[in-house]
Every structure is written in structure tokens, then in C-alpha cells.
Amino acid sequence: MTILLCSVNTLSVRRALLGLLVWGLVPFSAVVEAGPSEGRLLGYLSSKIAHSPDNAELYLRRAYSFAEIGHMKDAFADLRRVERLGHGESANFARGELLRRAGRLEAARRKFDQVLVENPRHYQALMKRAEVLVSLGKNADALADYQRLFQVRPNSASGYYRQAAELYLASGAPEQALALLDTRMAATGPIPQLQNLAISIEQTQGRYAAAIVRMKALSAASHSSPFWHSKTAALYYSDGDIDRARHHIAIAENLLAQRRQTPAVIDQLNTELLPLKKRLASQ
């Protein structure tokens, strides 16, 4: 019992946990293995459940807490209670997520499948199943899930759009990747997370002028970065505009000289600038 009391800071929570242990409402091993914050949360949730035994949300939260400390048996027991209380969809989604976190990807996929059979518009299940499918190497299926996700929830986080665009690229469809990025940026503006990938696609396709336009569309704050000028210089050089390439190299070097930079930043910038300067010197 000493271990239990040392793992919890407040007297009230200690008393609550002690009472719950006596009545068997929270496993002793779970409290011993939990750190202070986990122990407090388990004690709090178990105390709330004791007073509201029909509250499915409390069991759901406690299931995630048990899983955090590796008590999967207790976690899944709580999810069975959630299901018995009439929330099968929530229980199955949570099972899928806990299995995904545990690295049991095929089992997680089957649970997300169950959720989506019952509710094809469950956007969180679409997100999570797509992530699982990518990890399983099933890129085409993952891309199909992302396409469904964007229909159901167009304002999904930009990271999902980037992931889907990268899947398009991997499948040899750069124009579809670019169209998807632009669809999202029509709502968000040219955020670096998406615009930088779009610039890379334009560059790979040899459309340097289009890449430059995209570079200029980035926020004004980015234009004060020596890296922005270095990349812009490289694009102008590739597009055949030597004078503008030299102009942006000079700005990048001036910005580098004016600011304190870490050795790593200086090395990175020089790695970008030196080869370009050598090519320009021969012009």
C-alpha cells in the first residue's frame, strides 16, 4: 500500500483510490504501475463511475487510461461495458484505436471496418483506417479512404490532405496531387505545409515559373528568410533568369550575415548556396 500512496499527491485522491481498491473498482496493479498523473486520473474516473455506473463516456475515458499504462485487459473490459450501455459504435472505434496504438494493424483495420459498415460517414474512422492502410502498404485503399474523408469532412486537417497528395505522387499522379493541394489551399490560403509540396511538384515537372509564383505566394514573413531567397534563386536559375538568381543569392547571404545563426543553419544554407554559386560563376 505504500507504493500506492507514494504515487498520488493529494490526500483526497489517496483516500478515493484506497476506497476503490477496497471495493475492487480499480485494479491494484493498475494503480501501482501508473505514474502520479495516470494514478490520479484512474482514481478520479473510477470514483465517478462508482457514482454514475451507467455513464458510457466515463468507461470510455477510463479504457484509454488503462491502455496508456498497458492494461489492455482492463481497457477492453471497460469497452464491453460501453457496448452494453448501447454505444457499440464508440466501443468499436476505441477498440480499433487501441489496437492501432498497440501495433496490431490488421485487427485495428477490422474494427474500423465494422464502424464504417454501420456508419460510412464516421470521419474519424476514415482517418484512422487510412493511417492503418498506409502502414500496411495498401496505398490505393488508403487513398480511397482519404477521398471519402474529404467528401464527408472537407475541412479536415491539412496534414491529411498532404498525406493523400503524397499517395497520389507515389502512384504516379502528380497533377491529381497538385489539384488536391490547391483544393485545400483555396480555403486555407498558401500554407507552407501544402504549398511547399506543391512547389516541389511544379519543380519536378519542370514548371519553374509556376513554382516561383507559388514561392511568392507564401507569407511575407517567409520572404525575410535566407532559405526562401536561396530556394527562389535556385528556381530562377533553373528557369534561365540568371540575374534574378544572383539577386536572391546576394539577399540570402546578406540576411545570413546580419543575423545570428546556429552552425547547423549556416551549414545547411551554404550547402544550398555553394553549388548554385559555382554554376553561376561559370555563366
In the predicted model, what is the mean pLDDT of the chain? 86
Same domain, 245 and 282: yes
pLDDT for 282 equals 77
User: Pick from 53, 86, 119: which residue ends a domain?
Assistant: 86
Same domain, 200 and 279: yes
pLDDT for 37 equals 67
Q: Kindly report, residue by residue over 3-41, the tens digit of the pLDDT.
A: 333 333 433 434 443 343 333 344 434 433 444 466 688
Same domain, 118 and 201: no
Our count of domains for the chain comes to: 3
pLDDT for 25 equals 42
In a domain, 157, yes or no: no
> What does each C-alpha distance from 164 to 131, 135, 143 come to in angstroms?
10, 13, 6
Distance separating alpha carbons of residues 242 and 50, to the nearest angstrom: 74
Average pLDDT estimate for 228-245: 95
Same domain, 194 and 282: yes
Identify the CATH number of the domain in which residue 68 sits.
1.25.40
In a domain, 159, yes or no: no
Q: Is the dihedral of CA 13, 18, 24, 26 positive or negative?
A: positive
Residue 267 scores a pLDDT above 60? yes
Same domain, 197 and 278: yes
Residue 276 scores a pLDDT above 90? no
Distance separating alpha carbons of residues 154 and 246, to the nearest angstrom: 42
Least confident of 48-52, 134-138, 148-152, 203-207: 48-52
Same domain, 32 and 76: yes
Residue 275 scores a pLDDT above 60? yes
Same domain, 210 and 139: no
pLDDT for 52 equals 93
In a domain, 39, yes or no: yes
In a domain, 37, yes or no: yes
Better-scored residue on pLDDT, 260 or 45: 45
Distance separating alpha carbons of residues 242 and 276, to the nearest angstrom: 11
Same domain, 221 and 248: yes
In a domain, 176, yes or no: no
In a domain, 184, yes or no: no
Reported pTM: 0.79
Q: Kindly report, residue by residue over 163-184, the tens digit of the pLDDT.
A: 999 999 999 999 999 999 999 9
In a domain, 223, yes or no: yes
Range of the domain at 260: 190-283
User: Pick from 151, 182, 206: which residue ends a domain?
Assistant: 151
Residue 234 scores a pLDDT above 60? yes
Residue 104 scores a pLDDT above 90? yes
Distance separating alpha carbons of residues 188 and 172, to the nearest angstrom: 26
pLDDT for 261 equals 73
Q: How many CB atoms lie within 10 A of CB 277?
A: 15
CB 273 within 8 A of CB 237: no
